[in-house]
Amino acid sequence: MNKISEDFYNRSSLIVAKELLGKILIHKIEGEGLELWGRIVETEAYKGPLDKAAHSYNNRRTKRTEVMFGPGGKAYIYFIYGMYDCMNVVCAEEDIPEAVLIRGVEPLKGIEEMSFNRYGKSYDFLTKKQKINLTNGPGKLCRAMGITRKLNGLDLQGQELFILNSPRIEEENIIAAKRIGIDYAEEAKDFLWRYYIKDNTFVSKK
DNA sequence: AAAATGATCAAG
DNA sequence: TTGATCATTTTA
């Protein structure tokens, strides 16, 4: 069990977003002794002051964005479209509000629980499409892994929500692309700040 | 193509 | 206090 250290997170979200690919996100649910594991296959970087797509654009500091102004290595989880939670990892040093959105994971452990969380039935009864749709989007993976804004602000050095180290994905297998769902962000919408593992099944969109 | 669904935030 | 907006997903 090799948890990613705090230093890893206290860097630019552009670097962290890329290096988080291939790492393993774990949500341990206390009481039930349950562990949900997902391998990160898609991320997006958000970069505070300069980035019109970021919640923290122009250093906007509100109750919601507050956690991004702290040190790196915390969870920033927000509720969107009245229905979905999305999970970010806070990056950069204190007072620099950057984060990385986790957009896709490959289920590794606790798949049966994820299946019930998403579809209310056993994985054995899912269609091929449902099996892919389990965790190939930011809202979907949070629903599958039981990640909600109740976990907002958690330290990723803790025992409930954290990320394990694993070897870096080779540069030739990382694709950089425009971020999703931020067409309002003027020049920032064209930044290639979305990263994903080439040809991976659990990358959102196509 | 459009609905679902409610927290969030800036404006007044 | 209000109303437009929204880093999405599902269904048709």
Residue A206's pLDDT is what? 65
Q: Is the pTM of this model over 0.95?
A: yes
- What is the average pLDDT across A60-86? 98
CA distance A54 to A69: 13
**What pLDDT score does A76 carry?**
98
Protein-covered nucleotides of chain B (CB closer than 7 Å) are 4-10
| CB A192 within 8 Å of CB A32 | no
The DSSP output letter for A19 is H
Average pLDDT over all residues of chain A: 97
A34 touches strand B (CB under 7 A): no
Q: Is the pLDDT of residue A1 over 80?
A: no
Q: How far apart (Å, rounded) are the C-alpha atoms in residues A5 and A169?
A: 18
φ, ψ of residue A7 to 5 degrees: the values are: -60, -35
> Is the distance between the Cβ of A78 and the closest atom of strand B smaller than 7 Å?
yes
Region of A109 (left: φ > 0; alpha: ψ -120 to 50; beta: rest) is beta
Within 7 Å: CB of A2 and strand B?
Answer: no
Return chain A residues 143..202 having CB < 7 Å to nucleic acid strand B: 149
Q: Whole-angstrom Cα distance, residue A46 to residue A13?
A: 7
With beta carbons less than 8 A apart as the criterion, state whether A41 and A197 touch: yes
Nearest nucleotide to A65 (CA to C1') is B8
- pLDDT exceeds cutoff 80 at A123: yes
Please name the nucleotide lying closest to A61, CA to C1'.
B9
Average pLDDT of the residues in A141-160 = 98
For A88-107, write each residue's pLDDT tens digit: 999 999 999 999 999 999 99
Distance spanning both ends of chain A, measured CA to CA: 33
The pLDDT of A161-170, averaged and rounded, is 97
